[in-house]
């Protein structure tokens, strides 16, 4: 958005975190707000024409996704916001029934967190159908990159730079997919500029499937370290769950590591044409450079 000269309002609960993430952007207006509160969400949506909804929640709080979405949609309607783009995940698809999952794949989640994500998406589609707002859903795989702080990949980067052993939940031999976060913004802006793209879901994947162990190894090599990792299985997760609410929520999502969802984004590529998908080695190198320059990447579960 900065490169295209588009002014935007960055909304979050913590001013400190907003300043850390967006203070370098001249076009950004920092706006601390709690979007779960209707009045606060309405203030954040005032005089905005497009909302990009990318709020994440820790696993134990995933049940709040539909309720917060309802609040944001109510606030958007009250402030006469024209468009809303929901950044979603692969959770709503459930266990994949195809080697590559297109937007036509059934949304039949077997997990509670997948059902919450499906409900969230359905609220956007319903609002579009009833004319309350123009809405679309953009589904992403796991992500990594500068300032990306959700998921398992950030933990691998920080472990590699510290010379420690990285923990990965589930098997590392399966093919996986990761999208480099800076690649997403141009896609968002292009979709937002095309009225005919609204009312639909769109997949945007990474540069291609990669074995998780290969991805981890490339991170360590880019950091100048020998790869060190351990795979955390269901048994250990069950024990850890006795002491951590976050750990108790992970086992139901293990299918994503055992039978990963690989997105088919041919629909989006055909629509937008020249879409950049950063190769893994380049994205990993840039992420390492960002962290070495003092950037922070927390790495917590929740999508």
Q: Are strands 201-203 and 134-139 parallel, antiparallel or unpaired?
A: parallel
SS3 138: strand
Q: Is there a domain that residue 133 lies in? A: yes
CATH number for position 272: 3.40.50.720
Q: Is there a domain that residue 12 lies in? A: no
Q: How many DSSP H helices and E strands does the chain contain?
A: 12, 12
Q: Which two tokens stand for residue 182?
A: 């800076």
Q: Is there a domain that residue 265 lies in? A: yes
Residues 127, 223: Cα–Cα separation, whole Å: 46
Alpha-helical regions (H) of the chain: 15-22, 38-45, 65-78, 112-129, 153-162, 184-192, 212-222, 234-240, 245-249, 255-258, 266-272, 280-292
The pLDDT assigned to 20 comes to 85
Q: Is there a domain that residue 66 lies in? A: yes
The pLDDT assigned to 24 comes to 83
The pLDDT assigned to 298 comes to 45
Specify whether the CB–CB gap between 29 and 8 falls below 8 A.
yes
Q: Is there a domain that residue 20 lies in? A: no
SS3 226: coil
Q: How many domains does the chain have?
A: 1
Residues 287, 123: Cα–Cα separation, whole Å: 34
- pLDDT by residue for the chain (303 residues), tens only, comes to 556 778 899 999 999 989 988 888 888 999 999 999 999 999 999 999 999 999 989 888 999 999 999 999 999 999 999 999 999 999 999 999 999 999 999 999 999 999 999 999 999 999 999 999 999 999 999 999 987 877 889 999 999 999 999 988 888 999 999 999 999 999 999 999 999 999 999 999 999 999 999 999 999 999 999 999 988 766 666 666 566 677 777 778 888 989 999 999 999 999 999 899 999 999 999 999 999 987 654 444 445
Owning domain of residue 102? 33-292
The pLDDT assigned to 123 comes to 98
The pLDDT assigned to 183 comes to 96
Q: Is there a domain that residue 8 lies in? A: no
**Which residues are CB-contacts of 262 (< 8 A; sequence separation ≥ 6)?**
96, 99, 100, 101, 141, 175, 177, 205, 209
The pLDDT assigned to 154 comes to 92
Q: Is there a domain that residue 217 lies in? A: yes
Residue the block writes with tokens 């999952």: 101
Q: Is there a domain that residue 128 lies in? A: yes
């Amino acid at each position: 958005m900065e490169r295209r000269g588009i002014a935007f309002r960055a909304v979050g609960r913590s001013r400190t975190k907003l300043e850390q993430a967006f203070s370098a952007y001249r076009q950004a207006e920092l706006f601390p707000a709690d979007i779960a509160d209707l009045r606060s969400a309405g203030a954040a949506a005032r005089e905005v024409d497009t909302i990009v909804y990318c709020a994440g929640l820790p696993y134990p709080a995933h049940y709040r996704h539909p309720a917060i979405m309802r609040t944001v949609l109510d606030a958007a309607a009250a402030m006469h916001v024209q468009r809303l783009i929901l950044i979603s995940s692969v959770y709503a698809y459930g266990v994949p029934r195809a080697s590559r999952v297109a937007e036509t794949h059934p949304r039949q989640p077997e997990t509670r967190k997948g059902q919450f994500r499906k409900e969230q998406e359905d609220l956007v589609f319903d609002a579009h159908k009833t004319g309350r707002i123009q809405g679309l859903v953009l589904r992403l795989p796991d992500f990594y990159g500068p300032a990306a702080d959700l998921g398992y990949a950030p933990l691998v980067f920080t472990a590699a730079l510290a010379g420690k052993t990285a923990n990965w939940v589930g098997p590392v031999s399966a093919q996986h997919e990761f999208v480099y976060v800076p690649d997403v913004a141009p896609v968002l802006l292009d979709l937002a500029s095309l009225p005919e793209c609204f009312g639909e879901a769109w997949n945007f994947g990474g540069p291609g499937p990669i074995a998780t162990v290969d991805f981890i190894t490339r991170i360590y090599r880019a950091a100048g370290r020998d790869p060190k990792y351990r795979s955390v299985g269901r048994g250990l997760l069950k024990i850890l769950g006795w002491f951590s609410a976050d750990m108790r929520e992970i086992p139901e999502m293990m299918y994503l590591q055992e039978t990963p969802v690989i997105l088919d984004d041919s629909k989006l590529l055909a629509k937008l044409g020249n879409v950049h998908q950063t190769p893994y080695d380049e994205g990993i190198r840039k992420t390492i450079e960002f962290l070495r320059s003092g950037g922070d990447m927390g790495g917590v579960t929740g999508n």
